[in-house]
Structure 1
Amino acid sequence: MFTGIVEELGTVAAVLDQGDAIRLTVRAVTALDGTQLGDSISVNGCCLTVAAIDHDDLGSTWTADVMQETLEMTSLLGVQPGDGVNLERAMTADKRLGGHLVQGHVDGVGTVVRRSPSEHWDVVEVSLPRELAKYVVPKGSICVDGVSLTVVNVGPDSFTVSLIPETLTRTTLGSRAPGDRVNLETDVIARHVEKLITAYLPGASA
């Protein structure tokens, strides 16, 4: 479980193609503080398991195995060495929940449609798969590339968010351009509520 508060902007150090999977190596500092093999780290909102930790003259790296299904369902498909990635370690029970409850399970991939810079923030519009639109509401929460954000407006196939300078500086969202793909995770509470009430709706099977 995560909070959507990015701890560090890491850098992809290597991508090893294994045919039906990749081994993704990421250079990091904060994300490796206290981290052990088997721990979970969110990479652009995708929960990955630490399979190796290494140290070299440039610092420290960690490696995760990313299977084909994950690649097909997320924007990690096509990631290249040198790319920046948002990193967050799994939350602990005594940690402040500064964002919202995030599982690190990507629901779908959106695309940056447009961004409108202003003096103190950017308004960014992101495309939204229609099947996910019902879970997104104005002033509600959504996770974009691992970043917990508050929704401004919602349409049938897109939504907008406002990015403050801190978010623009400390995450990949500061450099995402129209056409770039981003991982989306909707509010898990909304999805659970839908499942619970569906059984009581007319026409539901016993």
Structure 2
Amino acid sequence: MVRIFTGIVEEVATIQSIRQANENMVLQIQAEKILQDAKLGDSIAVNGVCLTIEKLEQYAFHATVMKETFHTTTLHRLQLREKVNVERALQLQGRLGGHIVTGHVETVGKIQRILKTSNEIRLTIETEPKFIKQMVPRGSVTLDGISLTIFALNARTFEVSLIPHTYETTILHMKKVRDVVNIETDYIGKYVQSQMATILTEDFLRKNGF
């Protein structure tokens, strides 16, 4: 079952403990707002990665980061007391303020430039070309669980713009050039791309005069 998030960060939480469990990693994360109605088994996006609450305390929850997720996201870089973006899974009656986010991080990107003005903060992110191909200008992308709009694309980089409020109330204001972020490209865009690749085969094009 796919859990849906919006990419609108609800709270900045704190890593309280990190321990190894065989080849996995178990996190204890201190939070408050997102735990007000939480229960065991609920899904929480942590820096854009969908995790499951396995143990619940008054102001903290425990979640396991599986081996594959550990290696393919930035979670393996987490340190004690580090801040993380968190968001609860969307409820059916909730508003979709950002875009459809699954919490299945596909890759990571490296911040190449941070440009600040009085009105906005622009980030240039470098990632693999195959993920750039899944993006479109004015389309959506998720960075560390934050729903953002793509303003420019190149072969290996893309650019997003943030309003000062989003920048200051998430962990992005703590990031520096060359820091790494989790990336999830737009779910609907990936689906359309997959379907088009299936339909637009060489045989289809030949039969239709191309």
Fold match (TM-score > 0.5): yes
Which structure 1 residue ranges, 5 or more long, are not aligned?
none
Residues of 1 paired with 2:76 and 2:91: CA distance?
Answer: 29
Residues of 2 paired with 1:204 and 1:11: CA distance?
Answer: 54
Residue by residue, what CA displacement relative to the aligned partner does 1:115-162 show, whole Å, maximum 9, x if unpaired?
011123211111121111111111110000000001110111111111
The total of aligned residue pairs comes to 201
Residue by residue, what CA displacement relative to the aligned partner does 1:79-118 show, whole Å, maximum 9, x if unpaired?
1111110000000111111000000000110011110111
Residues of 1 paired with 2:203 and 2:15: CA distance?
Answer: 47
Residues of 2 paired with 1:7 and 1:23: CA distance?
Answer: 22
Superposition deviation, residue 202 in structure 1:
2.8
Residue equivalent to 1:65: 64
Contact 1:168 1:175 in 2 (8 A): no
Which structure 2 residue ranges, 5 or more long, are not aligned?
205-210
Residue equivalent to 2:113: 114
Residues of 2 paired with 1:76 and 1:188: CA distance?
Answer: 21
RMSD over equivalenced CA pairs, Å = 1.3
**Aligned residue identity for 1:47:** C
TM-score (norm 1): 0.94
3-state SS of the aligned residue for 1:125? strand
Residue by residue, what CA displacement relative to the aligned partner does 1:160-181 show, whole Å, maximum 9, x if unpaired?
1111111111101111111111
| Map 1:31-110 → 2, pairs under 5 A | 31-55=34-58, 60-110=59-109
3-state SS of the aligned residue for 1:24? strand
3-state SS of the aligned residue for 2:110? strand
TM-score (norm 2): 0.92
- Aligned-pair identity in percent equals 37
3-state SS of the aligned residue for 2:6? coil
Residues of 2 paired with 1:183 and 1:53: CA distance?
Answer: 25
Higher helix share: 2
**Aligned residue identity for 1:3:** T
Residues of 2 paired with 1:194 and 1:120: CA distance?
Answer: 34
Superposition deviation, residue 48 in structure 1:
0.1
* Larger deviation, residues 38-47 vs 114-123: 114-123
Residue equivalent to 2:169: 170
Contact 1:198 1:204 in 2 (8 A): no
Residue by residue, what CA displacement relative to the aligned partner does 1:31-59 show, whole Å, maximum 9, x if unpaired?
1111100000000000000001123xxxx
Contact 1:47 1:103 in 2 (8 A): yes
